[in-house]
């Protein structure tokens, strides 16, 4: 009986710790890699990606949207070209590459 309660409390604590982590602490796995232009000279550029974010983490949100689009279309690398800080938001523009590895 004691072992069951111990497992229950460990699971409950793990869930609470996960739920309480902030957006800044969360790092999401991406199948697309951030790169500099010299790192993708052997790759094919095939799309542009953009994203817009607002609020406290506007840049992170904008980049996340662009990365997600790049992943959806099969990109392997993304090179950031431009970041525009607008009145209440941030817009990013990037080139999506497909590299044979």
Nearest residue to 51 via CA among 15, 92, 97: 92
CA distance 78 to 94: 6
**What's the pLDDT at 91?**
97
Take residue 85 and report the two structure tokens written for it: 């800080």
Going residue by residue through the chain (101 aa), what tens digit of pLDDT does each one get? Answer: 656 556 556 555 656 555 544 444 445 556 899 999 999 999 999 999 999 999 999 999 999 999 999 999 999 999 999 999 988 999 999 999 999 86
Nearest residue to 37 via CA among 98, 71, 81, 68: 81
**What's the pLDDT at 24?**
45
**What's the pLDDT at 78?**
97
Take residue 17 and report the two structure tokens written for it: 């710790």
């Amino acid at each position: 009986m004691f072992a069951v309660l111990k497992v229950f409390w460990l699971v409950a604590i793990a869930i609470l710790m996960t739920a309480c982590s902030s957006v800044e602490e969360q790092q999401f796995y991406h199948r697309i890699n951030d790169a500099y232009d010299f790192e993708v000279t052997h790759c094919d550029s095939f799309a542009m990606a953009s994203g817009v974010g607002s609020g406290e983490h506007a840049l992170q949100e904008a980049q996340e949207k662009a990365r997600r689009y790049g992943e959806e279309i099969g990109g392997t690398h993304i090179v950031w070209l431009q970041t525009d800080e607008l009145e209440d938001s941030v817009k990013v523009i990037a080139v999506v590459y497909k590299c044979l590895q």
